[in-house]
């Protein structure tokens, strides 16, 4: 069964800026630059028929071209354990509206989505084991929290399929939807 999510791609120049940040945290599993994106909705596993319905439903969404900016870095924790190191994306009205349209459309297709507040970001690294790295993460965040990349334009959103491999996930674009009404 396909494992799907909806996300925004990043321009090459922003990808290059983010790659330059990826160092200085031991035990970090750095995300390959090909996998950088801004998730709008994680769908999960679906059957092939549902995938076609989802792709068709997403095609009904419109919105303006987005002007976005990367503004600092931070991390997500689970309990007290660091899980993800990320570059924060400044929320804009257009980005928030697009994410809400995507979520509403997917729920209309019977997809159950996470109810957590939307926090736009680009995942830079994941942490897979419990290790004492809090000071490394704090140092990374302190050193990079003032970084700013952009503004940059995003003129489409995409439906991706995630293929899990022993060496990490590989994402393929299943459909692309233009922005700019």
**What Å distances lie between residue 11 and 32, 69, 102, 156, CA to CA?**
15, 11, 21, 11
Any idea where the domains of the chain sit in the sequence?
3-178
pLDDT of residue 81: 81
The C-alpha R_g of the chain, in whole angstroms, comes to 16
pLDDT digits (tens, 9 = 90+) for 74-83: 999 888 788 8
Residue with tokens 């870095």: 73
Contact 61, 177 (CB under 8 A): yes
pLDDT of residue 61: 98
What is the band of 129 on the pLDDT scale with cuts at 50, 70, 90?
low
pLDDT of residue 130: 58
- Superfamily of 3-178 according to CATH: Cyclic phosphodiesterase (3.90.1140.10)
For residue 127, pLDDT beyond 90: no
pLDDT digits (tens, 9 = 90+) for 9-58: 999 999 999 999 999 898 899 999 999 999 999 999 998 789 999 999 99
pLDDT of residue 114: 87
What is the band of 131 on the pLDDT scale with cuts at 50, 70, 90?
low
pLDDT digits (tens, 9 = 90+) for 94-105: 999 999 999 999
Residue 2 three-state SS: coil
pTM assigned to the model = 0.94
């Amino acid at each position: 069964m396909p494992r799907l999510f909806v996300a925004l791609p990043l321009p090459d120049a922003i990808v290059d800026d983010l790659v330059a940040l990826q160092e200085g945290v031991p035990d970090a599993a750095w995300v390959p630059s090909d996998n950088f994106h801004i998730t709008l909705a994680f769908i999960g596993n679906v059957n092939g028929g549902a995938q076609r319905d989802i792709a068709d439903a997403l095609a009904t969404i419109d919105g303006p071209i987005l002007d976005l900016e990367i503004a600092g870095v931070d991390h997500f924790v689970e309990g007290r354990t660091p899980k993800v190191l990320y570059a924060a994306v400044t929320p804009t009205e257009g980005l928030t509206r697009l994410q809400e349209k995507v979520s509403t459309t997917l729920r209309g297709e019977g997809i159950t989505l996470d109810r957590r507040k939307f926090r736009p970001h680009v995942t830079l690294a994941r942490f897979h084991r419990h290790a004492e790295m809090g000071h490394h993460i704090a140092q990374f965040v302190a050193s990079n929290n003032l970084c700013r990349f952009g503004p940059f334009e995003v003129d489409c959103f995409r439906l991706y399929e995630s293929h899990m491999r022993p060496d990490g996930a590989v994402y393929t674009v299943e459909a692309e939807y233009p922005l700019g009404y």
